[in-house]
Structures are given as structure tokens and as C-alpha cells.
């Protein structure tokens, strides 16, 4: 892939931060249910504002996960005015040490993968990393660099990236130029083809809200939490977004439920959701859009949806009026006997359509 020569300033830090006991106490909740209350989210955001205040000016909260543990904030770096997105994990102190350790390891695995891909791709096709590391709510001991025993809470891992000013693909207007939409998904397919072929990784959570757009419109894939190695059988298939599960992903969840061996992931775990995302972007709000139909029909009934999608149903999108584009959608989510053999083949088909529009 073509190297992006834009200069990136990036540092990885392990920051020792001592916060007064009053701020630490804000994170202590009596019940797990409190994490779903907006009050906890507000306190967590205030804490992050305090922790990053020296180097970043927090502008607004961009998103909060449903379990009130992951926060994404828009910020401006002091000194050079670079706009950034701060993603951080804030866990209430009543979680057990094992739970906190598992959550932290998962978050930092995503951080390390994003950082590693950023070094390889130089921000082309994926979000550019500015800084990543940890903030401590208690001063680490000088011997091992870890929080002192008996001190609650702990560690807040974080990832700071460029701020994608173009928003997400999910935010695109229905009236957006078709050629531009095809161009975006061609770029995503090219990026994933490179990662599939060179690093044997699958993303597993491709969806419109995980495809960001830079100021000039370039696509940026984010959220690598669900990524795994091709051929690996996963114990946890629940990571990812239900509406964009591939049949292989859904079969894995059913196998785990039934105590059976789950299927291994391959390129189809990304191709199928990419096709669904393309179709949903083209036909968002259309009464025949299968993504909207499935959302309305299944709601939050994950098990029923998995049973349905695991059968590899013949999903059909409305006609775009462009035969070659309709064929691409057909070969990604409809005709299981004539699917693209690789993400590279899909990218080439999208490129061909783009040139003709």
C-alpha cells in the first residue's frame, strides 16, 4: 500500500498521576447497576478531564459504552492545537481484581494492535495513533511500577488518536454521491485485504460506525477489540455487533452455546459485514433494506438472530440501478455459492465500479 508521508508525532507513556482521595472516591460505587446511571458517566468524564488536563483540553464527550466503562472524548492537545480523540477504560472499584485485569488486558491488546498497525500503515486506512499508555489513580511503587497494595483503584489505560473530522460512514447522508460511497468501501476493502494477506488478522466488527472519515474523506478503520488471527477458534464470539455478524460468526456463538467446537475465522468474517455495511449505506431508510428489516424484527434477541443468520439466508438489497454494484452486493451477502474468494477480489470489483461512475 502507498505510504502516507504525513508526519506523526507519537509518544508512548506510562504516566504516574496522583489524584486526591475525593476524586478517587467518585469512582467507588456500591452496586454494579450504578455503572448504568448517567451520574457515574459524568463523574468518570470529570475524572478523565482531570487526568489529561495538563496536556489536553477536553472539548466534549463523543461516546460512552453501554456498560459505562469505555469513554471517547474529543480534545485539543496543548502546545500544537492538534485535535484528538481520547479513548479510555474507567472501571468502578467494586469490580474484582480478576475482572479488572481481564478488562484491562483486552483494552490494552486493542491499543497495542492499533498502535502496531499504525506503525506499519502510517495512518493510511486506519486511525492514526498520537499516544497510548496508562494513567494511575494511585502512585506506583518505585520497585515494580505498579500501584501499591491495598490502594483502590488502579489503572486507567488509554489510547489517543487523531480526530476524524469527517465523522463515520453511518453519518453519511442518504443523498451522498454513490461514487463516493463506493470509493470509501473500496478503500476499506483494500486496507483489510492488506491486513488479511500480510498479517493474517480479521477485524470481526466491521460496521458503518467503525468506519471513520478524515477531513479529506479518506476512510479510517477503528475499534480493533474483536480482531483475531485467521484460523483461530474463539471462545468468545459475542464480541462484535449483532446486526453485522457473518454466518460464520453466528455459528460460532451457537456452537459455544451448545458446548461444541466453534468454527475458525477466515476472511469471510470481514467480507460479509463489509457487504452488509455497503448495502446499508446505499439503502439506509429504504423499506426493503434487509439491515433495517432485521433490526426491526429481531430487536435485541441475539439468540434468534444468530439462528437466522447462521443459516446463511439469501439476503437481497434493492436494486441500485447499477448492475455491477448489485452483483457485488449479491456476491457478498446473498449468493453463498458465488462469494468473492478474497477481500482483494472484492476491492478490485469495487474499483471497477468506481471507475465507471
CATH of domain 11-162: 3.30.200.20
Task: Report pLDDT for 175.
Answer: 79
Q: Contact 89/158 with Cβ under 8 angstroms?
A: yes
Q: Kindly give the pairing relationship between strand 11-15 and strand 129-136.
A: parallel
Q: Contact 48/86 with Cβ under 8 angstroms?
A: yes
Enter the pTM of the model: 0.83
Task: Report pLDDT for 236.
Answer: 60
Provide the β-strand partners of residue 202.
Answer: 228
Local mean pLDDT, 10-residue blocks, the chain (357 residues) = 45 43 41 51 87 94 85 95 95 77 89 94 92 79 51 74 94 88 97 96 94 93 91 68 89 85 86 95 90 90 90 92 95 87 96 95
Task: Report pLDDT for 8.
Answer: 42
CATH of domain 169-356: 1.10.510.10
Q: Is 200 exposed, middle or buried (0-12, 13-18, 19+ CB in 10 A)?
A: middle
Nearest to 231 by CA among 268, 205, 266, 184: 266
Task: Report pLDDT for 191.
Answer: 97
Distance from C-alpha of 354 to C-alpha of 133, rounded to nearest angstrom: 40
Task: Report pLDDT for 141.
Answer: 56
Domain boundaries, the chain: 11-162, 169-356
Q: Mind listing the pLDDT tens digit for each residue in 230-279? A: 887 766 656 778 899 999 888 888 888 888 888 888 898 899 999 999 99
* Cα separation values, 291 from 4, 12, 104, 162, 346, Å: 34, 40, 33, 30, 20
Distance from C-alpha of 158 to C-alpha of 70, rounded to nearest angstrom: 10
- CB neighbours of 321 closer than 8 A, spacing ≥ 6? none
Task: Report pLDDT for 253.
Answer: 85
Helical H runs in the chain? 21-25, 38-52, 97-121, 178-199, 247-257, 268-283, 290-298, 302-310, 323-329, 343-356
Amino acid at each position: 500500500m502507498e505510504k502516507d508521508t504525513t508526519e506523526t508525532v507519537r509518544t508512548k507513556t506510562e504516566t504516574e498521576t496522583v489524584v486526591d482521595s475525593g476524586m478517587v472516591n467518585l469512582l467507588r460505587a456500591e452496586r454494579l447497576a450504578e455503572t448504568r446511571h448517567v451520574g457515574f458517566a459524568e463523574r468518570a468524564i470529570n475524572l478523565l478531564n482531570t487526568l489529561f488536563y495538563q496536556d489536553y483540553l477536553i472539548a466534549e464527550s463523543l461516546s460512552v459504552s453501554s456498560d459505562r466503562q469505555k469513554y471517547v472524548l474529543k480534545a485539543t492537545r496543548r502546545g500544537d492545537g492538534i485535535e484528538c480523540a481520547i479513548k479510555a477504560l474507567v472501571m468502578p472499584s467494586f469490580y474484582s481484581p480478576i475482572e479488572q485485569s481481564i478488562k484491562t488486558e483486552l483494552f490494552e491488546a486493542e491499543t497495542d494492535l492499533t498502535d502496531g498497525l499504525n506503525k506499519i500503515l502510517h495512518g493510511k486506512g486506519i486511525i492514526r495513533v498520537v499516544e497510548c499508555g496508562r494513567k494511575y489513580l494511585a502512585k506506583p511503587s518505585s520497585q515494580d511500577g505498579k500501584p501499591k497494595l491495598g490502594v483502590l483503584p488502579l489503572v486507567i489505560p488509554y489510547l489517543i488518536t487523531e480526530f476524524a473530522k469527517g465523522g463515520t460512514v453511518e453519518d453519511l447522508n442518504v443523498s451522498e454521491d454513490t461514487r463516493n460511497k463506493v470509493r470509501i468501501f473500496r478503500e476499506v476493502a483494500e486496507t483489510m485485504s492488506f491486513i488479511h494477506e500480510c498479517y493474517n488478522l480479521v477485524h470481526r466488527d466491521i460496521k458503518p460506525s467503525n468506519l471513520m472519515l478524515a477531513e479529506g474523506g479518506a476512510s479510517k478503520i477503528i475499534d480493533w477489540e474483536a480482531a483475531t488471527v485467521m484460523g483461530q477458534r474463539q471462545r468468545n464470539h459475542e464480541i462484535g455487533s449483532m446486526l453485522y455478524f457473518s454466518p460464520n460468526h453466528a455459528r460460532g456463538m451457537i456452537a459455544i452455546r451448545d458446548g461444541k467446537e466453534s468454527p475458525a475465522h477466515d476472511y469471510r468474517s470481514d467480507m460479509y459485514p463489509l457487504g452488509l455495511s455497503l448495502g446499508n449505506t446505499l439503502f439506509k431508510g429504504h423499506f426493503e433494506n434487509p439491515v433495517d428489516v432485521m433490526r426491526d424484527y429481531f430487536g435485541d434477541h441475539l439468540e434468534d438472530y444468530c439462528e437466522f443468520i447462521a443459516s446463511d439466508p439469501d439476503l437481497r438489497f434493492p436494486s441500485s440501478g447499477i448492475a455491477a454494484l448489485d452483483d457485488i452486493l449479491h456476491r457478498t451477502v446473498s449468493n453463498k455459492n458465488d462469494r468473492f474468494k478474497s477481500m482483494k477480489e472484492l476491492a478490485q470489483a469495487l474499483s471497477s465500479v468506481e471507475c465507471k461512475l
